Structure 1
Amino acid sequence: MTLRWEAFLAQVQERGEYGTPQEAERAARTVMALLGAHLVGEVRAELAARLPETFALILLSPLQAAEPLPPERFVRAAAAWIEGATEQTATWDVSAVLSVAADVAGEDLTHRILLQLPPGYDLLFGRPQPT
């Protein structure tokens, strides 16, 4: 279990080019909490099952968004929660975490996650969809 946690964080740290695992963890916790508030049902449970336990619990937190935020507002919300973040750095943070989550989820689950979210999240997940 610990290895999965460390491996997940190492990937986030590498993609986000963070100086420390703590920075990667802070971004991952924030983004997973926001993502969890946007996903429902089976898709949310399946993603949680593939994540390290700590992030699975954050994703499954009972907090639910009143309505799914468009990608720009999702990034803005992340910026508000990540200490010292700007919209530019938050876009980087969100993409680093969501692209690793997409790798963990696999193509089929990532596709189903994207179907639950407003248009435009494909880029944040590092999975640009053909138009």
Structure 2
Amino acid sequence: MTLRREAFLDRVQERGEYPSRREADRAARVVLALLGAHLVGGVRAQVAARLPEDFALILLNPLQSAEPLSPERFVRATAAWIEGATEQTAAWDVGAVLSTVADAVDQDLLGQILLQLPAGYDLLFGHPMPA
């Protein structure tokens, strides 16, 4: 089931404790553009199918990534794309968006997402995996 745009942004805004919907939207766009560069094939399409249309398009037309970023570098890249962000605020942005994505997909798809990402992303999605 696809989340409506308002519901998706409400969750991101609440989790990120953003004062405005605009800030939640900006965080979602940056994080999804970076995430899309790391997912391939059917997994990316399945995640996109669960997102509101404008966010799905961002995920499907990602920024190009030469190599998969470690979770730390993913947070740093997010900080670089959000004006005025620090690594601490970017970590918050990433967690707010990716935990909302995790809620939009089922456990099986989340597992497939995590298989395509370097180790440590489970924490960014708010779903720590047993060691």
State TM-score, norm by structure 2. Answer: 0.96
Partner of 1:6: 6
Q: Which amino acid aligns with 2:126?
A: G
Tell me which amino acid in the other structure corresponds to 1:54. D
The equivalent of 1:57 in structure 2 is 57
Instruction: Give 5+ residue unaligned stretches, structure 2.
Output: none
2:81 is aligned to 81
For 1:12 and 1:118, the matched residues in 2 are separated by 23
Larger mean CA deviation between 38-47 and 63-72 belongs to 63-72
- Quick one: structure 1 residues 41 and 16, their matched pair in 2 at CA, closer, same or farther if it must change by over 3 Å? same
Q: What does 1:98-109 correspond to in 2, within 5 Å?
A: 98-109=98-109
Rounded to whole Å, the distance in 2 between the matches of 1:98 and 1:62 is 16
Report the counterpart of residue 35 of structure 2 in structure 1: 35
Alignment-mate amino acid for residue 85 of structure 1: A
Residue type of the alignment partner of 1:97: V
Q: Is the 8 A contact 2:34 2:62 kept in 1?
A: no
User: Residue 112 of structure 1 corresponds to which residue in structure 2?
Assistant: 112
CA distance in 2, matches of 1:21, 1:80: 21
**1:116-127 map, 5 Å:** 116-127=116-127
Q: Give deviations 1:81-130, integer Å, cap 9, x for gaps.
A: 01110000000000000000010012111110000000000000000011
The unaligned stretches of length 5 or more in structure 1 are: none
- Number of aligned residue pairs: 129
Q: How far apart are residue 62 of structure 1 and its match?
A: 5.1
What percentage of aligned pairs have identical amino acids? Answer: 74
Query: For the Cα contact (< 8 Å) 2:33–2:62, is it kept in 1?
Result: no
User: Following TM superposition, where does structure 1 have runs of at least 4 consecutive aligned residues deviating by more than 2 angstroms?
Assistant: none
